[in-house]
């Protein structure tokens, strides 16, 4: 850090206070998270004593990079995964090998400096690259339960449905009434004109809760005069019970039950089995909408469903937490009809996250790999239940493979992106609070899994040809600007 001695970043304090505020409001970097990824230049105790003006003591550093981690490789790396042998398209098979090689560059090993001086870093030191554990799980099952119980005890509330039955549902709710450290200036400026301190603090809670959801941000969390239209000032994350979070917890309760059975703890096996059944009932009785033929997020304050399309609506199809709504075949058929009626299956580049053109990154026209994966696998897993499920699953997998493959081929250097635009094949997504990110772990992983499932049928282009007509750079640039212009002019 010797080359950064005079930089503001070397004096970062992680606790809230004058220094953190000044550094974030100084606009020294394009990304507010930069400060949080740097070590403190001095101890926290000494930093508490520093109150002089930032601009008088420090100068901007230009383009700077965090140094608390190093690139690393995983302990076990298969240079040629077996499933790629079954990929029939030579272009996709070669692409699969290239994606596999990316893991060597996306791996991280945390710097030893973090272990030696932990008080200077926001990162938690781990001595080895993280790998997925194999057959042994006794030593980790209690940690899994602890994480699960956090959501049960710290993020759950009771709600009453239209029939007067009480359900326990989970929600995102971070009760810290300060700006996000990673987006301090953005949050501070957003709340600046609110008239009361209580209103500002509640907005900070909503912003943090939206970040906790991973959907930062989306019209999904906006409640404004019984609509999902508004600005980030209209976020009401803490008044919403999300379909996907509750569906995931239902699935995890079932998994914990299975784990405890294998571990021989039959009392906990029964406890989590009963809990999974209870959550399954809640998915049917609170979240399922018989008219629309899908599940919807639930407005706790208004005590009603939020009947807007978000791809998260069909999460229970993937988690397999359904069946109490009626026959499973009828439920799957209704979900397929719902997707068709929303016309979300018609886009060339995948299924949009929502139909709302808000300029936020978790809205139209963006498509995200985890959501595509959930939709594709949800339908794939229902292939024995409904005759049309597998063909739709393959169709969506084909679109996603083709758009990510084309985006990879057209980027220089070759890259996978965190999100894509459903309107133009291969076009990276846009919107939100930061530039589109390269890499990208979940996009790579989903692509490889789809090659594993459907590699014997997938092709890089129609008819087996790899000659797509690439979108022009004008299309790329103009579509990347649309969300920004919309947000600037409308919000």
Q: Note the pLDDT of residue 439.
A: 76
Residue 65 pLDDT exceeds 50: no
What is the rounded average pLDDT for all residues in the chain?
83
Q: Note the pLDDT of residue 143.
A: 93
Min mean pLDDT across 223-232, 409-418, 467-476 is at 467-476
CA–CA distances in Å: residue 128 to residues 115, 120, 140: 12, 20, 17
Q: Are 264 and 249 in contact (CB under 8 A)?
A: no
Closest CA to 213 of 191, 229, 237: 237
Helix (H, G, I), strand (E, B) or coil at 168: strand
Domain boundary among 305, 321, 337: 321
Handedness of CA 403, 405, 410, 415 (dihedral sign): positive
- The total number of structural domains in the chain stands at 2
353's tokens:
């996250």
- The better pLDDT of the pair 315, 24 is held by 315
Q: Note the pLDDT of residue 102.
A: 83
- The better pLDDT of the pair 462, 437 is held by 437
476 in any annotated domain:
no
Q: Using a CB cutoff of 8 Å and minimum separation of 24, what contacts does 389-398 make? A: 389/332, 389/336, 392/336, 392/339, 392/345, 394/454, 394/457, 395/345, 396/345, 396/350, 396/351, 396/372, 397/450, 397/453, 397/454, 397/458, 398/454, 398/458, 398/459
Q: Note the pLDDT of residue 483.
A: 41
Do 26 and 160 lie in a common domain? no
Helix (H, G, I), strand (E, B) or coil at 108: strand
Using a pLDDT cut of 90, give the percent of the chain over it: 65
Closest CA to 260 of 132, 138, 148, 139: 138
401 in any annotated domain:
no
Do 58 and 192 lie in a common domain? no
CA separation for the pair 277, 281 (Å, rounded): 6
Order of all β-strands in the sheet with 297-299: 240-241, 297-299, 304-306
Do 62 and 139 lie in a common domain? no
Residue 385 pLDDT exceeds 70: yes
- Could you identify the residue written with the tokens 């089995």? 273
Do 62 and 141 lie in a common domain? no
Do 62 and 165 lie in a common domain? no
Q: Note the pLDDT of residue 467.
A: 42
Do 48 and 143 lie in a common domain? no
Region of residue 382 (left: phi > 0; alpha: psi -120 to 50; beta: else)? alpha
Q: Are 430 and 436 in contact (CB under 8 A)?
A: yes
90 in any annotated domain:
no
Helix ranges (H only) for 160-242 are 184-191, 197-213
Helix (H, G, I), strand (E, B) or coil at 357: coil
Query: C-alpha 442: how far from its chain's center?
Result: 9
Do 55 and 140 lie in a common domain? no
443 in any annotated domain:
no
13 in any annotated domain:
yes
Do 155 and 289 lie in a common domain? yes
Which residues are known catalytic residues? 216, 418
Q: What's the pLDDT tens digit per position in 165-202?
A: 999 999 999 999 999 998 999 999 999 999 999 999 99
Q: What's the pLDDT tens digit per position in 125-167?
A: 877 765 333 344 566 899 999 999 999 999 999 999 889 999 9
Q: What is the DSSP string of 455-473?
A: TTT--SSGGG-----PPPH
Residue 123 pLDDT exceeds 90: no
User: How many other CB atoms sit within 10 Å of the CB of residue 57?
Assistant: 12
Closest CA to 157 of 246, 257, 248, 227: 246
Using a pLDDT cut of 70, give the percent of the chain over it: 75
Cis bond leading into 415, ω under 30°? no
Query: C-alpha 385: how far from its chain's center?
Result: 29
Do 144 and 277 lie in a common domain? yes
Q: Are 217 and 68 in contact (CB under 8 A)?
A: no
Give the Cα-Cα-Cα angle 12, 14, 17 (nearest 5 degrees): 85
Question: Residue 267: which domain range?
Answer: 134-321
Domain boundary among 15, 41, 67: 67
pLDDT band at 436; cut points 50, 70, 90: confident
Do 53 and 148 lie in a common domain? no
12 in any annotated domain:
yes
User: How many other CB atoms sit within 10 Å of the CB of residue 410?
Assistant: 18
Residue 107 pLDDT exceeds 60: yes
| Helix/strand/coil (H/E/C) assignment for every residue in 41-66 | CCCHHHHCCCCCCHHHHCECCCCCCC
CATH code for the domain of 237:
1.50.10.10
Instruction: Kindly report the pTM of this predicted structure.
Output: 0.80
427 in any annotated domain:
no
Q: Span 274-301, mean pLDDT?
A: 98
Beta strands in 130-180 (DSSP E): 156-160, 166-170
- Could you identify the residue written with the tokens 């929600």? 171
Handedness of CA 92, 379, 388, 86 (dihedral sign): positive
Q: What's the pLDDT tens digit per position in 229-266?
A: 999 999 999 999 999 999 999 999 999 999 999 999 99
Domain boundary among 40, 67, 94: 67
pLDDT band at 104; cut points 50, 70, 90: confident
Do 139 and 268 lie in a common domain? yes
Q: What's the pLDDT tens digit per position in 2-60?
A: 333 333 333 334 455 555 666 666 665 666 666 565 666 555 455 455 544 544 444 44
Q: Span 482-490, mean pLDDT?
A: 39
Cis bond leading into 413, ω under 30°? yes
Q: Are 45 and 100 in contact (CB under 8 A)?
A: no
Do 172 and 268 lie in a common domain? yes
195 in any annotated domain:
yes
């Amino acid at each position: 850090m010797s080359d950064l001695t005079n930089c503001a970043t070397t004096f970062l304090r992680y606790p809230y206070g004058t220094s953190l505020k000044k550094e974030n409001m100084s606009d020294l970097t394009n990304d507010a998270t930069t400060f949080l990824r740097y070590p403190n230049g001095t101890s926290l105790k000494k930093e508490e004593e520093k109150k002089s003006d930032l601009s008088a003591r420090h100068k901007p550093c230009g383009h700077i990079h965090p140094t608390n981690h190093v690139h690393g490789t995983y302990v076990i790396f298969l240079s040629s995964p077996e499933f790629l042998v079954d990929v029939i398209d030579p272009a996709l098979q070669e692409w699969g090998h290239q994606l596999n090689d990316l893991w060597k560059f996306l791996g991280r090993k945390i710097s030893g400096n973090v272990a030696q001086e932990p008080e200077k870093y926001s990162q938690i030191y781990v001595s080895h690259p993280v790998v997925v554990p194999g057959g042994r799980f006794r030593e980790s099952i209690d940690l899994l339960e602890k994480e699960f119980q956090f959501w049960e005890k710290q993020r759950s509330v009771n709600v009453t449905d239209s029939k007067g039955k009480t359900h326990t549902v989970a929600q995102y709710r971070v009760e810290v009434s300060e700006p996000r450290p990673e987006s301090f200036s953005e949050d501070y400026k957003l709340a600046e004109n609110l008239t009361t301190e209580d209103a500002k603090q509640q907005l900070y809670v909503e912003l943090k809760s939206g970040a906790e959801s991973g959907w930062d941000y989306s019209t999904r969390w906006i409640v404004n005069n019984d609509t999902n239209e508004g600005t980030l000032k209209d976020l009401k994350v803490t008044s919403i019970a999300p379909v996907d979070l509750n569906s995931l917890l239902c699935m995890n309760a079932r998994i914990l039950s299975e784990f405890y059975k294998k571990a021989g703890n039959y009392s906990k096996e029964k406890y989590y089995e009963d809990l999974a059944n209870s959550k399954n009932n809640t998915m049917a009785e609170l979240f399922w909408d018989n008219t629309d033929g899908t599940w919807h997020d639930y407005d706790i304050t208004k005590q009603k469903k939020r009947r807007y399309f978000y791809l998260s609506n069909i999460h229970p199809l993937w988690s397999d937490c359904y069946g109490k709504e009626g026959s499973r075949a009828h439920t799957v058929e209704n979900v397929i009809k719902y997707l068709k009626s929303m016309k979300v299956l018609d886009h060339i580049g995948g299924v949009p996250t929502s139909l709302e053109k808000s300029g936020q990154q978790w809205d139209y026209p963006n498509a995200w790999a985890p959501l595509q994966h959930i939709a594709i696998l949800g339908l794939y897993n229902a292939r024995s239940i409904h005759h049309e499920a597998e063909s739709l699953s393959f169709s969506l997998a084909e679109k996603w493979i083709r758009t990510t493959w084309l985006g990879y081929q057209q980027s220089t250097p070759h890259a996978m992106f965190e999100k894509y635009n459903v309107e133009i094949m291969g076009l990276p997504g846009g919107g939100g609070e930061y530039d589109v990110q390269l890499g990208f772990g979940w996009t790579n992983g989903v692509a490889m899994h789809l090659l594993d499932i459907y590699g014997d049928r997938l092709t890089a282009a129609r008819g087996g040809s790899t000659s797509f007509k690439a979108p022009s750079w004008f299309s790329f640039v103009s579509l990347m600007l649309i969300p920004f212009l919309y947000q600037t002019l409308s919000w």
